[in-house]
Structure 1
Amino acid sequence: MPEPTTPSAAAPTVTPPGAEHRLVDVPGGRIHLVEQGTGPLVLMVHGFPESWYSWRHQLPALAAAGYRAVAVDVRGYGRSSKPPAVEDYRMLAHVADNVGVVHALGEERATIVGHDWGSNIAAASALLRPDIFTAAALLSVPYAPRGGPRPTEAFAHIGGDEEFYVSYFQTPGRAEAEIEPDVRGWLAGFYTGISGDTVPPEGEGSLFFVAPGGRLRDRFPAGRLPAWLSEADLDHYAGEFERTGTTGALNRYRNVDRDWADLAAWDGAPLIQPSLFIGGALDASLAWMSDAVRNFPTTLPGLVSSHILEGCGHWVQQERADEVNEILTRWLDALLPTR
């Protein structure tokens, strides 16, 4: 287990040159975003446990390519609203936030790009509001339509005697008690443990399962940070969660059953807009969801291309920024050739 860490003395420069921070009103509160460039709107949605900052490499690249690149803090994160009730973080609320952001920016439609939970949010946004979200790029987590048994029932059977991390996150306060006494150390271990260049060897136990009476961080690797994560980057992420706490972020996991009920009308529904998938070959998400990738011809009939990056872990747009920027830009240019 990593020892508690302290911030570096130098404060990070968190905003790419030329990008601007904004707060916009949406029906559920306010959303903080960072935008750069002009042209067709590309809305980028982060996952857990991150922020708009996970798109810091994509903002200037997409702006330079002729797009209005916008990265949000998902509700519960950063400077965005943090409503108190667990149910305020259901998928329908996140979709409504994205619709509200598009309207607040004076736009009628957007291409949406998501990573990790942001991939699920992007897919749901495109599924429920195809009139607004005309294409979707999904990073790390493949699209899987609503279906099957109630999610918490399914998760309870994963891992045998050990507890799957999504189940571990279900009880309010439980994961917070592990994370918040040492936010920076916990984040360092979590990021490191599923990065391509620092993922633990097979046989050391999965990071995503908790032994009886244990904690998730018990299996975090110690040692160097992954190459994509500087001390200043870690300072930024830790600073955000030190200020906001982690409950809003964790509440996304606590709505999986509610989402399953809310989206019953879309059971098995394919995502028909033009789409893109980018994943890391060393990302455990691809192993768990290999069936979802195999089902892309049915579930993503508009899939333009799928890219599995060798040697890459979970944090694809940060681990392989240049490669992801090139893939995204080429896909966008093919979608919008007359912009």
Structure 2
Amino acid sequence: MAHTEATHRSVPSPAGRIHLVEQGAGPLVLLVHGFPESWYSWRRQLPALAAAGYRVAAIDVRGYGRSSKPGAVDAYRMLDLVEDNVAVVHALGERSAVVVGHDVGAAVAANSALARPDVFRAVGLLSVPYAPRGGPRPGEIFAHMGGDEEFYVSYFQQPGRAEAEIEPDVRGWLAGFYAALSADTMPSSDAPDPHFVSRGGQLRDRLPTGPRPGWLGEDDLDVYAGEFERTGLSGALNRYRNMDRDWEDLAGFDGAPITQPSLFAGGSLDASTTWLADAIEAYPRTLPGLVSSHILDGCGHWIQQERPAEVNRLLTDWLAALPA
């Protein structure tokens, strides 16, 4: 198949403009990154999926990179991000797409498939399993996690608080955060958990300060740090600050399954996989269209960057088996 170069462009969305990197031709696959990343987290998947015959678009989610960054915290609700994804598909001249997400991008991908099955014909989830809306408000659940310690999602809630920690040294904070969740650099099981903050402390207090993960080269860190140094972290953190609004907005989907063909892949060393093991066990009910499910042994959270060849194979095999 002929090689095609990746192109950068922006398209209109309800938020303003969404930046994307596009490569290839054929059926559209939309890639949605997580926190704290950008379209760049899919740099190893773009050429592989394009070579397999797909048109691939990796976006900067609203608030990240070169996409628009509304000032209001409540402009980052889940259903707003779903409509951004729909707008990207339509702006690319397509009626439907497969959507694949990682980390919080997996939640955006899942809800895109749930809320707009007319547009998203299949969904792939990396690292974070699908768990239907239900139960108490998320803010109440997270507030009671950790006992005397504060869960990182709760720590992110107050506007400006996490920004004050991160923005004076974006590069160092990112390097530590990536290392904390990577298989080859994460703290030992008997070390303080980096997902929690000591009362009165900061998240960075528990982030590793040693070598970078094997997948994170100096140039890669340059890209990530450069974007967040330019934009700040508020847009990215505002996704977490809408979890209770999302719980209200998605009330009509309480307990709802995603019925489209689906894929899940997670790392065996990723807390998102182990903490949400019950969600994975519930897939026969919550993801009845699941056709490909994998736990990658010895892999951490940044699955498509830690294991690019393996993830590319899983994605291309799954995509090839989807109905036309």
TM superposition score normalised by structure 1: 0.94
Gaps of 5+ in 1: 1-15
> Which residue, out of 244, 253, 259, partners 1:272?
259
Contact kept, 8 Å, 2:4 with 2:24, in 1: the verdict is no
> Which residue, out of 207, 210, 223, partners 2:197?
210
Q: Aligned pairs, how many?
A: 322
Partner of 1:43: 30
Write the letter of the residue equivalent to 1:122: A
Partner of 1:287: 274
Is 1:184 paired with 2:171?
A: yes
Distance of 2:180 and 2:142 partners within structure 1: 21
Write the letter of the residue equivalent to 2:207: F
Deviation track 1:4-52 (CA, whole Å, cap 9, x = no partner) reads xxxxxxxxxxxx9710000111132100000000000000000000000
Partner of 1:168: 155
Partner of 2:297: 310
Write the letter of the residue equivalent to 1:165: Y
Distance of 1:280 and 1:173 partners within structure 2: 31
Partner of 1:3: none
Q: Once superposed, which parts of structure 1, at least 4 consecutive aligned residues long, lie more than 3 Å away?
A: none
1:211-250 matched pairs, under 5 angstroms: 211-250=198-237
Is 1:25 paired with 2:12?
A: yes
Partner of 1:259: 246
Write the letter of the residue equivalent to 2:118: D
Partner of 2:45: 58
**Percent identity of paired positions between Structure 1 and Structure 2:** 71
Contact kept, 8 Å, 2:27 with 2:55, in 1: the verdict is yes
TM superposition shift of 1:100: 0.3
Deviation track 1:58-107 (CA, whole Å, cap 9, x = no partner) reads 00000000000100000000000000000000001100100000000000
Contact kept, 8 Å, 2:262 with 2:292, in 1: the verdict is yes
TM superposition shift of 1:132: 0.3
Deviation track 1:197-240 (CA, whole Å, cap 9, x = no partner) reads 11111111110100011100101112111111101000000000
Gaps of 5+ in 2: none
Calculate the aligned-residue CA RMSD, in Å.
1.0
Distance of 1:323 and 1:253 partners within structure 2: 30
SS at match of 2:252: helix
Is 1:71 paired with 2:53?
A: no
SS at match of 1:144: coil
TM superposition score normalised by structure 2: 0.98
SS at match of 1:325: helix
TM superposition shift of 1:129: 0.3
Deviation track 1:114-145 (CA, whole Å, cap 9, x = no partner) reads 00010000000000000100000000000000
> Which residue, out of 114, 132, 135, partners 1:145?
132
